[in-house]
Amino acid sequence: MNINQLNGTLSVTGLRELNATNAQAFRSALARALSRDLQAIEIDFSQTRAVDGAGLGALVALYETAKEHRKREGFAMRLTNPTPTVQQMIELARLHHLFEISPQGSAPEGTLPPINLT
């Protein structure tokens, strides 16, 4: 898993699975990388083959932590290029209402517009 930060966007790539085996490590690694000027988290799911409830829970926890970091300023979390089965899991748990989902082949370029949570 690779974590990069550029222009206020924290990008995660190379995630092969997000389940009970690595959910805690994933959450801790990203929580450590959060900064005050963070505007968005973008997680690339193109290589992710397995996601379970623990993995989804880690995403929610990360979102809550990042939102807390940003207090009242805008913040967005985007899940990009999920495989069809990963997208099914996300939709089953209703996380597509919470996160932005960019299906495969439709990820726009550039930084994300922040969402005002106030």
Q: Which of 111, 22, 26 is nearest to 65 (CA)?
A: 26
Q: Which is nearer to other proteins, 8 or 57 (CB)?
A: 57
Cβ neighbours of 92 (radius 10 Å)? 11
Residue 104 interacting with other proteins (CB under 8 A): no
At 36, is the secondary structure helix, strand, or coil? coil
Exactly one of 11, 13, 19, 46 binds other proteins (CB under 8 A); that residue is 19
Q: Is 118 in contact with 72 (CB distance < 8 Å)?
A: yes
Contacts of other proteins in 64-93 (CB under 8 A): 64, 84-85, 87-89, 91-93
Residues that bind other proteins (CB under 8 A): 19, 50, 52-53, 56-57, 60, 64, 84-85, 87-89, 91-95, 97-98
